[in-house]
Amino acid sequence: MAPSRLKRDGVFLFVSIVAKQFTLGKSERLKSRKAIDALFKKGKRFSLTPFRVFYSINKNAALQIGCGASSRNFKRAVDRNRIKRLVREAWRLQKNSTQLLLNEKNLGLHIFLVYTEKDLPDYDLINAQVEKIIKQLFIIINESSA
RNA sequence: GCUACAAGCCUGGCUAUCGCUUCUUAUUAAUUUAAGAGGAGGAAAGUCCGGACAGCUCAGAGCAAUGCACCGGUGAAGAGCCGGGUCCUGAGUAAUCAGGAACAGAUAGUGCCACAGAAAAUAACUACUCCGCAAGGAGAAAAGGUGAAAAUGUGAGGUAAAAGCUCACAGUUUGUAUGAGUAAUCAUAUUUACGGGUAAACCUUGCAUGCUGAAAUGCCACGUAUAGUAUCGCUUGAAGACGGCUCGUCUGAGAUACAGGGUAGGCAGCUUGAUACUGAUAAGUAAUUAUCAGUACAGAUAAAUGAUAGCCCACGACAGAAUCCGGCUUACGGCUUGUAGCUUUU
RNA sequence: GACCCGGUAGCUCAGCUGAAUAGAGCAAUUGCCUUCUAAGCAAUAGGUCAUUGGUUUGAAUCCAAUCCGGGUCA
């Protein structure tokens, strides 16, 4: 019993120390209409089953994310809000490694995730796919800096 | 117990961790950090009506266009709501009850009414009466069959045969008078007429409507090209306000098209208002209103309420604010109360 | 937020100033032709005229409400 409790306590300790990294405030979301238009026009993209990912790497910029779903596939606003919330949550918990890498290379990244399927997802699926996207981004960042 | 209707309430709860957003306080070089408080709906939806609010010269005349159409009340207003009238449908012997109505005008005019039928609107095929040898002429509209709809119906008089041609009764209708009612309208008396329907066909009459909508509008910041080509114009007036057209009034030096360039950031508007709900009192048949007391009230801007774990009721529908209100319509799970109907048991 | 169109056969469309059997092309099925297939010829079937009410003697058409789809406005 003792080792497992110690492990849980350790986890709590870790979480409370690095808490400030798991944020997603205004400055970390992609908010400018201009930037989003530029991303769709000029940015690069790849597909990963439920998502289409638009991204562009810039110098002297922050890591900013946006997400959305088509109102053609999801007629009700409730469903679109649901998807956006799930994607934001998954990104919030997993983005830190990307941030560290970008800090190392002194780069910024704009990224936009569009959900393209027609059925409502659950959190596990989104979480797994966002993890894969981050791995893909790692490869891309390393290639572009090299 | 089930079904239907009406009214009200809820949108799982608690604990832990991480996270979003607004405000307040403290703090910081800094929207940095910390603490506290608040954070979607009955429909937030559809955008079907009506406003508030804002701007445009406080908005001129005529035509056109659109909408509305029994009466009264209510309210900021309405195609809403409440009450009343008339007509229609159903139930009932009846009194009456329930439901519905886009309920001005068909005698202002125009159009349309398939097939059938003689004829679908100033009716005449068969049949009828009279004249005539006959062909035909005249009269008249009872009877016939068709159709959704056929010239008000029944009886009597009348006639050559007939006919509201005349009379009685009945129905509808026009006006007048009296009475009731705020009025629509109703009752009674008298009078006029009875050559269809359709205005959710055009239309006529009456009334209403200035236009544009928070992407309105005001302010600040940043930036480019007061450039290029073509056409029109510069007081002999382009173009605009002005909306579909014309006139009129006002403004008065640029306007339009093409190609190209720039910006698309912030603040205000922005949430407490014709506020909503609850209770009491008063007015009213009611909708609703007045007074007093209490409670409540998000404000984002790629757009905030979420994720994970555990426990408890037991699996939680429809669904997410975007300037704000009053209605209407549509979607929909559960609980409570009331009313009505059916069934079962005592 | 403001506003405008459309919904007819399996598909693409007519018909929408009301009149009864709702048409056309492609596709489908059957037969003929051909050694067989295609093409061609002949025939057949297939429709809740988006839904629900209303007006009318009569509605795909006119009117109202709803559902679904598409588009315009910086």
Instruction: Say which CATH number the domain at A134 has.
Output: 3.30.230.10
pLDDT tens-place string over residues A118-141: 777 778 888 888 888 888 888 888
The spacing between the Cα labelled CA in A12 and the C1' in B251, in angstroms, equals 75
Task: For residue A9, tell me if it sits in a domain.
Answer: no
Cβ contact A27 with chain B strand, < 7 A = yes
Asked whether the beta carbons of A48 and A133 are under 8 A apart, the reply is yes
Closest CA to A79 of A112, A47, A51, A121: A121
Our measurement of CA A74 to C1' C45, in angstroms, reads 40
Give every CB contact of residue A19 below 8 A, 6+ residues apart in sequence.
none
Q: Is residue A3 in a domain?
A: no
Q: How confident is the model at residue A112 (pLDDT cuts 50, 70, 90)?
A: confident
**Does nucleic acid strand C have an atom less than 7 angstroms from the CB of A75?**
yes
Using one digit for the tens of pLDDT, what is the confidence trace for A68-92?
877 777 777 788 888 888 888 888 8
Residues whose CB is less than 8 angstroms from the CB of residue A102 and which lie 6 or more positions away in sequence, other chains included: A63, A108, A109, A141
Whether any strand B atom is under 7 angstroms from the Cβ of A121: the reply reads no
Rounded, the Å distance between the CA of A34 and C1' of B258 is 27
Check if residue A85 sits with its Cβ under 7 angstroms from strand B.
yes
Q: How many domains does chain A have?
A: 1
Separation between Cα atoms, residue A134 and residue A136, nearest integer Å? 5
Quickly give A78 CA vs B287 C1' distance in Å.
38
Q: Does residue A5 lie within any of the structural domains?
A: no
| Containing structural domain, residue A58 | 22-145
